[in-house]
Chain A
């Protein structure tokens, strides 16, 4: 049991060490690919175990539950680890061509794998302070990745990213301190059990709000998202793809975990705020995207608006709504990472990501156009792609709950998403190139084409699979939601049977 849970955590760090030692040769990047392939195997193994047994937990160092650090995986954690491994593998293959030698010498592959390790750790830990440590591991490696190369705009975006994330981290740490003072424990399951017995429930709500703000900054929700569009369009494409896919989702995951497991005492207050936040996040994100004129900036603002959908699922807190949030989380990681990877290929062939300066991709690179079409329209929620089912479940849950306004907002934002996706389509793919360049894929070497297009095609294929057979995925999401809304199994497994 310990072994299955610890392997996905240890592997990325092992890979990072190997990649760092071999950073001056070609071996470093292949270590990264191989390490992530093994990680995918290990995470699938974990998934199988979780499907088999429900919740699994392991105590690190042999210290029993409330005292030692617990690793725990339920359906949500397991699926997040699998999707992390998939994204990591796709991006590491893409990085074979995308990352130049200078960035490799600076240690790109090592930082990347440490980042993946931090993300996996945050998904698997059952201890609040340990979650803070994993957030830090993730943050410091993402800082490094973001400014790797040291361009002016990277430094500028980096300052905003670093400062805002540090403030949220400090808020998170203070929240942990206060929660520990109230309950005398740091184990999430144990906190969930003892929090109801705390006398001062008003203070519990205050701490809940501190956590909401702290994770809200990381997840980039309204009104705390300004660092994201300022920073995500500056680093290498591999880096922004993995940031867009995974980093903000760790914030969403932490919100879902804390506000289903721990802070479920004052739902009328906290989740009402979450609902407002969700609606405003969706609207501001999509309006910001409509105003932009650069592919990566449009996509960055779209991350914000899509986060709103996931928070909406959490805020409604019905089984169907939480299932929708889980489904959306998984679908969005694949789609968003893929769109950033495609933006990278578009820049390589057409010369820029600024929509005024490129064009003609449809005519000269029809394959890329097709590959863009799938995630773009999935994001916008076209049936029968994966995004349609995700939005459908959420809107159905909202209507079932008589949340007419939030359902209307969700549908309207879907329409506006289509508008800005059509903008990318019309400008980058449809209109002729303003400088008369013929941006064909043939100008890339065959090797570069393989490295860049295979991950894109693989992720697009996964979007299609989820889109055309959503049944098992929706069922799984419903099971995960049931587990989240009734955390009894989680708590008893972590605390080893005693209740």
Chain B
């Protein structure tokens, strides 16, 4: 299971790097979504995987018995997903706004804040 997830993470990161190297900023944020999910999977795997063992505590007992799933990474991933979703929504709106004010989605044409020297002449 770990091996499968590790390969998945690798594929996600590779795909997202490919997308983020594109000059189109829309592709860039799709790459960003993929890589943030890869990060979530890293946290998930690092908490060690156990299948079919929910961390439930029997009535009256002080702690769970035997090998159970680690609940903390799941809480962390949940938090990271929520935050990542908020950031993605913001980035998407920003790209939309950039398209409507700058009229382009290509990062090479976005030279207003730091113009090239030949542009200013």
Name 20 extra pairs, CB < 8 A, besides A153-B112, A174-B42. Answer: A129-B76, A129-B79, A136-B83, A140-B87, A156-B102, A159-B25, A159-B98, A160-B110, A162-B90, A166-B91, A169-B87, A173-B42, A173-B80, A174-B38, A174-B39, A177-B44, A177-B76, A178-B42, A180-B47, A180-B73
**Set of chain A residues within 8 Å of B72, measured between Cβ atoms:** 180, 186
Interface string of A275-301 (1 = CB under 8 A from B): 000000000000000000000000000
User: Is A37 in contact with chain B by the CB < 8 A criterion?
Assistant: no
**Set of chain A residues within 8 Å of B64, measured between Cβ atoms:** none
The docked-state distance in angstroms from the alpha carbon of A204 to that of B116 is: 41
A451 to chain B, nearest CB (A): 28
**Set of chain B residues within 8 Å of A230, measured between Cβ atoms:** 113-114
The docked-state distance in angstroms from the alpha carbon of A450 to that of B90 is: 37
| Interface residues in A145-184 (C-beta closer than 8 Å to B) | 147, 150, 152-160, 162-163, 166-167, 169-170, 173-174, 176-178, 180-182
**Set of chain A residues within 8 Å of B29, measured between Cβ atoms:** 163
User: Is B86 in contact with chain A by the CB < 8 A criterion?
Assistant: yes
A300 to chain B, nearest CB (A): 10
User: Is B69 in contact with chain A by the CB < 8 A criterion?
Assistant: no
B110 & A173 in contact (Cβ 8 Å cutoff): no
Closest residue of chain B to A172 (Cβ to Cβ) is: B39
**Set of chain B residues within 8 Å of A153, measured between Cβ atoms:** 112-113
A152 to chain B, nearest CB (A): 5
| Interface residues in B66-109 (C-beta closer than 8 Å to A) | 72-73, 76, 79-80, 83, 86-87, 90-91, 94-95, 97-98, 101-102, 107
User: How many residues on the A side are at the interface (Cβ–Cβ under 8 A)?
Assistant: 38
A155 & B101 in contact (Cβ 8 Å cutoff): yes
User: Is B46 in contact with chain A by the CB < 8 A criterion?
Assistant: yes
A-B pair count, CB < 8 Å, reads 106
B91 to chain A, nearest CB (A): 6
Closest residue of chain B to A169 (Cβ to Cβ) is: B87
Chain B interface size, under 10 / 10 to 19 / 20 to 34 / 35 or more: 35 or more
User: Is A143 in contact with chain B by the CB < 8 A criterion?
Assistant: yes
**Set of chain B residues within 8 Å of A234, measured between Cβ atoms:** 113
Main secondary structure of the interface of B (DSSP, over half): helix
The docked-state distance in angstroms from the alpha carbon of A150 to that of B97 is: 8
A147 & B94 in contact (Cβ 8 Å cutoff): yes
The docked-state distance in angstroms from the alpha carbon of A158 to that of B73 is: 32
**Set of chain A residues within 8 Å of B111, measured between Cβ atoms:** 156
Return the 10 tightest CB-CB contacts between A and B, nearest first: A181-B46, A177-B43, A157-B113, A177-B42, A156-B113, A156-B112, A153-B113, A174-B39, A173-B39, A153-B112
A160 & B113 in contact (Cβ 8 Å cutoff): yes
The docked-state distance in angstroms from the alpha carbon of A155 to that of B111 is: 11
User: Is A336 in contact with chain B by the CB < 8 A criterion?
Assistant: no
**Set of chain A residues within 8 Å of B19, measured between Cβ atoms:** none
The docked-state distance in angstroms from the alpha carbon of A181 to that of B46 is: 4
Contact status of A180 and B46, CB under 8 A, knowing A140-B90, A150-B101, A153-B112: yes
A163 & B102 in contact (Cβ 8 Å cutoff): no
User: Is A324 in contact with chain B by the CB < 8 A criterion?
Assistant: no
User: Is A302 in contact with chain B by the CB < 8 A criterion?
Assistant: no
The docked-state distance in angstroms from the alpha carbon of A166 to that of B48 is: 26
B108 to chain A, nearest CB (A): 12
Q: Which of B32, B47, B91, B97 contacts A181 (CB 8 A)?
A: B47
A159 & B110 in contact (Cβ 8 Å cutoff): yes
Closest residue of chain A to B16 (Cβ to Cβ) is: A170
Interface string of B32-61 (1 = CB under 8 A from A): 100110111011111110000000000000
A136 & B114 in contact (Cβ 8 Å cutoff): no
The docked-state distance in angstroms from the alpha carbon of A173 to that of B48 is: 17
**Set of chain A residues within 8 Å of B90, measured between Cβ atoms:** 140, 143, 162
Closest residue of chain B to A176 (Cβ to Cβ) is: B43
B32 & A133 in contact (Cβ 8 Å cutoff): no
Closest residue of chain A to B100 (Cβ to Cβ) is: A155
B94 & A180 in contact (Cβ 8 Å cutoff): no
